[in-house]
Amino acid sequence: MIASETTPLVLAEAPKPKTPLPKLQLGILLTIQLAEGITSTSIFPYINQLISELGITGGDDAVVGYYAGIIESLFFVAQALTVLRWSRLSDRIGRKPVLVIGLSGACISILCFGLSTTFWSLVISRCMCGFLNGNVGVMKTMMGELTDSSNMAQAFALIPTVWSLGGFLGPLMGGTLARPQDHWPVIFTNPFWRNYPYFLPCAVAACVLFLALFTMAFFLEESLPTKRRPKLTSVTLDVSSGESLPQCPMADISLRSLLTPTVVIPIANYAMFAFLEISRRALVPLFFSTPTYLGGLGFDPSSIGSWLALFGIMDGVFQALLFAKLVDWLGPKRLFSVSVSAYALLMVMLSIMSWLVRARGGVDYAVTFALLFQLVLSVICSMGLGTLLMFITASAPTKNALGAINGLGQTSSSVARAVGPAFATSLFAASKEHNLLGGNAVFVILFMLAGALIWLGSQLPDEIKDRDE
């Protein structure tokens, strides 16, 4: 009875009109993210073969995962040490200069990666990229500054879509262009390509980064309130009250004062989700490349790139067409729970695929069907990212706190992403090498961690907070 009496009051409230998105500025930011997504995922199809060819494994295929995990984690270790400092620096000198440094560092480091012929040169190039790259946190801050509560979900829904497009193009490029002297021997006859067989995909990735850098330098406008042009001042206005938000620089905000449950719970979920997601992204290519006698699929880099690219395009289409509708239908909290549940089921599917390969002596129609189902589950898993970005952005009490909160969030996720690949690939190697739980110990442990995240996700608020009120 009480609900029926209050319902007319709720219906009588005029819905808040959506603020139009600044399409050009958001488009440039998404272009930068696309370029970095292509670069970061392009190494996945060939990283395991590259490590094998360096001769550091002694010919033991089972231990490739140890070294692959180290290489894939080093970027996030270096990023975790510096990303908060880059976020703070962007509040002093502006967002654009920090993005320029980050893109330049990524461009140089990927070229060094392609020219690496020793394990330690790979280590140095990945660390260089991580130390110089604080772009992820700064871009999220800029998106928060360019949006308000009426259009925030619409803008942040584009992030997983663009990342998925990068996840399609990057592996496809890396798998196709790796070892060009083997694929196109008539064209790539110079001995250089035999000495540096993985330089071509790195060079193409560097060109993509340079184009993004050029576009940003000429067309992206500064969003930091104290550095931008007067015509953008309206972005900092509270559209619901017409009053200006306080423009206290992030450097003057105590980080400890922001560590409230409202902020900490979304960040904790983000860190845990980042750990599981990066573990999956490192584990799946390793599982694809592992010989069939060890329970892997035995794919070559070209096949790995094709399957990862298929996931990327499926993910991008799904996110673009259905993500916003699912958020409206289920709500961000329920959608996040569905995403993590799909992750747990994915771990079960990978263990089934490993058993099928051994039982059937290779990849047949049953394994292929399971592989396609695994792709569907991976797409559902990736939806969790967009929902968490909405929770983190909405947790900021005012827009001037976005830099600090995004810096904290990215630092925590970088630490998780630093640990995730080494943890997952090393555990995979140990599972296969010592036949732990029939070689499936890695899948069992990640399944249990997904269950823990389902509980942690239950602590998120039921609705997205309106930051502008």
Residues 6+ apart with CB under 8 A from 455: none
Whether residue 440 has pLDDT greater than 90: no
Is residue 446 predicted with pLDDT exceeding 60? yes
Q: What is the mean pLDDT of residues 228-240?
A: 45
Question: Which residues pair with residue 244 across a beta bridge?
Answer: 237
Residue 252 has a pLDDT of 53
Q: What pLDDT score does 340 carry? A: 92
Q: What is the per-residue pLDDT for 397?
A: 67
- For the ranges 250-264, 274-288, 348-362, which has the lowest average pLDDT? 250-264
pLDDT of amino acid 90: 81
Among the residue ranges 56-70, 82-96, 335-349, 360-374, the one predicted with the least confidence is: 56-70
Tell me the pLDDT tens digit for each residue of 266-297: 889 999 998 998 888 888 888 888 887 877 88
Which has the higher per-residue pLDDT, 138 or 468? 138
CA angle 212, 215, 220 (to 5 degrees): 115
Confidence check: pLDDT of 68 > 50: yes
**Whether residue 3 has pLDDT greater than 50:** no
The mean per-residue pLDDT over the stretch 103-132 comes to 90
Give 314's pLDDT tier (boundaries 50, 70, 90): confident
In the CATH scheme, what architecture does the domain 23-220+255-457 have?
Up-down Bundle (1.20)
Which range has the worst mean pLDDT, 26-40, 41-55, 289-303?
289-303
Write phi, then psi, for 372 (nearest 5 degrees).
-65, -40
Q: Higher-confidence residue: 130 or 467?
A: 130
Q: How many CB atoms lie within 10 A of CB 266?
A: 25
pTM exceeding the 0.75 threshold for the entire prediction:
no
Q: Tell whether the model's pLDDT for residue 12 goes beyond 50.
A: no
pLDDT over threshold 90, residue 172: no
Residue with tokens 């823990």: 452
Rounded alpha-carbon distances, angstroms, from residue 233 to 12, 99, 224:
32, 21, 10
Q: Which residue has the higher pLDDT, 332 or 231?
A: 332
pLDDT at 463: 76
pLDDT of res. 341 = 93
- What string of H, E and C letters represents the secondary structure of the chain? CHHHHHHHHHHHCCCCCCCCCCHHHHHHHHHHHHHHHHHHHCCHHHHHHHHHHHCCCCCCHHHHHHHHHHHHHHHHHHHHHHHHHHHHHHHHHCHHHHHHHHHHHHHHHHHHHHCCCCHHHHHHHHHHHHHHCCHHHHHHHHHHHCCCCCCHHHHHCHHHHHHHHHHHHHHHHHHHHCCHHHHCCCCCCCHHHHHCCCHHHHHHHHHHHHHHHHHHHHHCCCCCCCCCCHHHHHHHECCCCCCECCCCCHHHCCHHHHCCHHHHHHHHHHHHHHHHHHHHHHHHHHHHHCCHHHCCCCCCHHHHHHHHHHHHHHHHHHHHHHHHHHHHHHCHHHHHHHHHHHHHHHHHHHHHHHHHHHHHCCCCHHHHHHHHHHHHHHHHHHHHHHHHHHHHHHCCCCHHHHHHHHHHHHHHHHHHHHHHHHHHHHHHHHHHHCCHHHHCHHHHHHHHHHHHHHHHHCCCCCCCCCCCC
Q: Which of 200-204, 206-210, 381-385 has the lowest mean pLDDT?
A: 381-385
| Range name among 106-120, 197-211, 241-255 with the lowest pLDDT average | 241-255
The stretch 332-360 carries a mean pLDDT of 87
Residue 8 confidence (pLDDT): 45
Q: What is the mean pLDDT of residues 48-52?
A: 84
Task: Tell me: pLDDT of 11 over 60.
Answer: no
Contact 38, 164 (CB under 8 A): no
pLDDT of amino acid 241 = 39
